[in-house]
Amino acid sequence: MTRVVTVGAAQLGPISREETRSEVVERLRALLAEADTAGCALVVYPELALTTFFPRWYTEDVGGHDHYFETSMPGPDTSALFDDAAQRGIGFSLGYAELTADGHRYNTTVLVERDGRLVAKYRKVHIPGHENDEPWRPFQHLERRYFEPSPDGFGVWPAFGGIVGLATCNDRRWPETYREMGLQGVELILIGYNTPIHYAPDPSQDALAGFHNRLVMSAGAYQNGTWVVGVAKGGNEEGVDALAESSIIAPSGEVVACALGNGDELVSATIDLDMCRQYTETVFDFGRYRRPEMYQRIGNQRGVAPTASVERER
Ligand code: ING
């Protein structure tokens, strides 16, 4: 019996800094209703799906953006989404800014099953951008000022009939993200992202933003025999153009469904989790073909002048 599940990528357009949580939650619920009509069992929302991407603005006090953070999940503004989803029998993943009781700030995603049960909480591992105001930039990317990196790393969880993993935005650019979950048997990786198209440190990459987005998620899917769902908050948000192109990607690396616009848009597909085995039991049979004893023997040589030969530890 094949394990099929219908997944919805719930792409968001811009969220303005004035938009209230309840106004945003109404947008999330509208996408949930569309997903219900499409027969989805799971809806994937973007990174930081409840607010504008506030790390684009510098505040002297790190707590200056705390009004964009959630101190509980669900909370007073989000319980309507949780209740609506549970009533419809639809699970979801939701990215948001988490402020813990002991004062830690994380870029967090929760995974909720169809019955409303909180299955997992994932905190972003790879925190991009910079820590202090850099006035030379047309806009800031201060995630490293406002978020701590995850202390937990990558996990996978039994859910929706398969093995589900979570990652967030910049995580998707690092091959280790997918392999850490691939080694744990992941079959479906859910990734929300907020990706400015302009990359100030090297503007030559701007034109490649869509290509790099597809490249890393397709590679990660194929090289680990897993489905990948990447979901954007896209469009022009507070003057910054962000990449959309939310996609559902098969273990073959093929994009099976993609958003056409850069606003609120549901993209759905019925995926077969058993397709993972066509890759994990053949070309990427880790037990048979992978050579872990040959990896990680050389530290990070980047930036070190090459020598005639790199002594390998015997
Ligand atoms: N955003 C971007 C991302 O990794 C970025 C940051 C953009 C890094 C382009 C490098 C190049 O998609 C987040 N939120 O991680």
Nearest residue (by CA) to ligand 1, atom 15, is 170
Q: Is the pTM of the predicted complex or chain greater than 0.95?
A: yes
pLDDT at 239: 98
Question: Which atom, in ligand 1's list, is nearest to the CA of 173?
Answer: 4
Which residues have CB under 8 Å from 138's CB, separation 6+? 198, 200
- Residue that is written with structure tokens 């590679």 in the block: 219
pLDDT at 314: 47
Contact yes or no for 36/88 (Cβ under 8 A): yes
pLDDT at 76: 96
- DSSP string spanning 277-302? HHHHTTTT-HHHH--GGGSS-S---T
pLDDT at 290: 98
Q: Which residues pair with 192 in a beta bridge?
A: 168, 231
Task: Kindly tell me if the per-residue pLDDT of 158 is higher than 70.
Answer: yes
Helix spans in the chain (H):
21-37, 79-88, 143-146, 175-182, 209-224, 277-280, 286-289
- The CATH classification number of 4-301 equals 3.60.110.10
Catalytic center residues: 47, 124, 169
How many whole angstroms from 196 Cα to the centroid of ligand 1?
7
pLDDT at 248: 99
The CA R_g of the chain, rounded to the nearest whole Å, is 20
Task: Kindly tell me if the per-residue pLDDT of 240 is higher than 50.
Answer: yes
How many whole angstroms from 246 Cα to the centroid of ligand 1?
15
Within the chain, how many helices (H) and strands (E) appear?
7, 14
Task: Kindly tell me if the per-residue pLDDT of 255 is higher than 70.
Answer: yes
Q: Which residues pair with 232 in a beta bridge?
A: 193
Contact yes or no for 108/122 (Cβ under 8 A): yes
Nearest residue (by CA) to ligand 1, atom 4, is 170
| CA gap 299, 67 in Å, rounded | 41
How many whole angstroms from 307 Cα to the centroid of ligand 1?
33
pLDDT at 307: 67
pLDDT bucket at 305, cuts 50 / 70 / 90: confident
With 0-12 CB in 10 A as exposed, 13-18 as middle and 19+ as buried, what is 36?
middle
Question: Which atom, in ligand 1's list, is nearest to the CA of 243?
Answer: 12
Mean pLDDT of 70-92: 98
Nearest residue (by CA) to ligand 1, atom 9, is 199
pLDDT at 312: 52
How many whole angstroms from 222 Cα to the centroid of ligand 1?
22
Question: Which atom, in ligand 1's list, is nearest to the CA of 47?
Answer: 14
CA pseudo-torsion sign 261, 14, 148, 185: negative
Task: Kindly tell me if the per-residue pLDDT of 171 is higher than 70.
Answer: yes
Task: Kindly tell me if the per-residue pLDDT of 311 is higher than 70.
Answer: no
Mean pLDDT of 102-128: 98
